[in-house]
Chain A
Amino acid sequence: MNTPTNLKYTKNDEWVKVDGNIGTVGITDHAQEQLSDIVYVEIVLSVGDSAKQSEACATLESVKAAAEVYLPVSGKVIEVNEALPDSPEKVNTDPYGDAWMVKLELTDQSELDGLLDAAAYEAQVQEKE
């Protein structure tokens, strides 16, 4: 399991990378492994949308299951990954890079305190297994 230490995580296997006031969101390596081959990605938020923590930002379908991706933090969408729906397999091959889903302008930095760091996320995954 690849879990970069510079990201924050949710219990639902999403990550957020914070850069100043901007948060970038995707799903974890562990999540893509559990879902197996991703065949469909739909980003359900658009630029300009204001969305709350835990709101769905994307829908994924793999050969095994369908899943929602929920926002780890609240914010205003400033960019969505338009290229991702055309190459959903990127979620499997590069979950922390090319497979980012949305970028947000954070509205509540304090939400970050409620998220997991890499070690806590890994511990939580192992506990579930």
Chain B
Amino acid sequence: MFIPHTDADREAMLRTVGVSRLEDLFKDVPAAHRFPNLNLPRGLTEMEVKAEMESLALSNETTKDLVCFLGAGAYAHYIPAAVDAILRRGEFYTAYTPYQPEISQGTLQAIFDYQSLVASLTGMEVSNASHYDGATAVAEAVSMAYANFRGKRNKVVLSPSLHPHYRATVQTYNEGTEINLAGAEISPQAGPEALLPLIDDKTALVIVQYPDFFGRIYDYTALAEATHRAGALLAISANPLSLGLLTPPGEFGADIVTGEGQSLGIPLSFGGPYLGLFATRKEYVRKMAGRLVGETIDNRGQRAYVLTLTAREQHIRREKATSNICTNQGLLALAATVYMSLLGKHGLRQVAELCYHKAHYAASQIASLPGFRLWSDAPFFHEFVVRCPQPVAEINDLLLLEGILGGYDLGQDYPELKNHMLIAVTEMNSRDDINLLVETLAEVSND
């Protein structure tokens, strides 16, 4: 460990504050608790620690060993080896906040490329340098919309098919504020038209998901029009990978597009760290939280990158900032940038198509099993809801015995969806994997 203070430094500091020994600084702590004897096991050697940690790690069950049909916001996709190789380059791995453009051109350019790719993928004009994850990005959209109307509109309509965790995060962010969240009473089965009666002249923002939490794909054009007629903004939380195939939300007229970037080359890692996408229209760029990198020319006329429009960041005008978050997920934004660059427009479309077709194959096979039924007939991307003849937890226990990580138990979040399973299929699932899932489910249906 690097400790910059020498003994002489320490003595000088102690003298300055008027104590003779370091221990004297803790004399306000009762003596019995000051330096207690800790009952710790003996220290381990490096070799012993490694063995211990490896045995702990082995008791994890991961998507490396299991066939995964679990999604619900985080998806098992293939990550090309080049993503990690580039990510782990020392120049990127150690880079911190690029406040000094003269020594941070690589990091700044990577973020600029990230922003350009996200803007292009979502069909929006500007993207920030990212947020923590898809959930916080949605919460930032609420803060931005509220600030945009300067507190005069305090209603936010949340679609019931927005990820339950995202709704919970929005709720947490806005605890104790004047913002009212609406939409909880709407049936999850309803389409976007069910939101229309809730949109009024107090509404700042309407938030939907695309594809929605249940995998369904809706055209949000009419919703955008109705939202704008009421003078409110529309935010769409999108799965960026699906945008390789689907109409970008910008074309529906979204004012804000957020998303969980995990599907773009970021490992599942037991839930994080992930990547929050946030894109908007140019007219709202000064209301947008987070960092923004811009391209300019330096005093020699060379292309250069620099943080821009930072006047509203919390370290400059904290009390006026739209958000208290100005950091970004630099390393994971880089992973997404490398992933998107490697795949390109056609590669991304190919992955999305594979997901789409495999999911549709799986859905049709499962729907043909007695006792199983598709919950919705709306078009879907790579995830769909199945009504099961037994509790989802029981079915998942059975699937796990076959080495299959089953779908998400929707009864956890939606009481009316007890015995409903959300199944995700990606390019990682082979036909054999899907057939194994269907065969195992068939055992349940025969019961």
Contacts and interface: CB of A to CB of B under 8 A. Distances in A.
A66 B152 CA distance: 23
B150 A66 contact: no
Interface in A23-61: 40, 42, 44, 46, 59, 61
A65 interface: yes
A42 B286 contact: yes
A59 B286 CA distance: 11
Nearest to A61: B311
Contacts of A66: 311-312, 316-317, 320
B320 A59 contact: yes
B386 to A, nearest CB: 50
A58 to B, nearest CB: 12
B286 A61 contact: yes
Interface centre among A40, A65, A66, A68 (most CB of B within 10 A): A66
Contacts of A46: 152
Contacts of A68: 320
A40 B150 contact: no
Contacts of A59: 320
Contacts of B312: 66
Nearest to B148: A42
A61 B311 CA distance: 7
Contacts of B316: 66
Chain B, interface size: which category? under 10
A46 B150 CA distance: 10
Chain A, interface size: which category? under 10
A44 B150 contact: yes
A93 B109 CA distance: 35
A66 B310 CA distance: 10
A26 to B, nearest CB: 20
Contacts of A42: 286
Q: What's the dominant secondary structure at chain B's contact region? A: helix
Nearest to A56: B320
A61 B308 CA distance: 12
Interface in B113-154: 150, 152
Interface string A52-78: 000000010100011010000000000
Contacts of A65: 311
B148 to A, nearest CB: 10
Contacts of B317: 66
Contacts of B286: 40, 42, 61
B288 to A, nearest CB: 13
Contacts of A40: 286
A46 B320 CA distance: 19
A42 B284 CA distance: 11
A27 to B, nearest CB: 17
Interface in B299-358: 311-312, 316-317, 320
A44 B150 CA distance: 7
Interface centre among B152, B286, B311, B316 (most CB of A within 10 A): B311
B321 to A, nearest CB: 10
Nearest to B286: A40
A42 B147 CA distance: 12
A40 B283 CA distance: 11
A46 B312 CA distance: 22
Nearest to B311: A66
Contacts of B311: 61, 65-66
A96 to B, nearest CB: 25
Contacts of A44: 150
Nearest to A45: B150
Nearest to B151: A44
A122 B150 CA distance: 34
Contacts of B152: 46
B157 to A, nearest CB: 23
A52 to B, nearest CB: 16
A61 B152 CA distance: 22
A65 B317 CA distance: 10
B282 to A, nearest CB: 12
A42 B152 CA distance: 15
Nearest to B316: A66
Interface string A11-29: 0000000000000000000
Nearest to A85: B283
A42 B320 CA distance: 13
B313 to A, nearest CB: 10
A23 B343 CA distance: 60
Nearest to B310: A66
Contacts of B320: 59, 66, 68
Given A44-B150, A46-B152, A66-B320, 10 more contacts: A40-B286, A59-B320, A61-B286, A61-B311, A65-B311, A66-B311, A66-B312, A66-B316, A66-B317, A68-B320
14 contacts: A40-B286, A42-B286, A44-B150, A46-B152, A59-B320, A61-B286, A61-B311, A65-B311, A66-B311, A66-B312, A66-B316, A66-B317, A66-B320, A68-B320
Closest 6 CB pairs of A and B: A66-B311, A61-B311, A66-B317, A44-B150, A40-B286, A66-B312
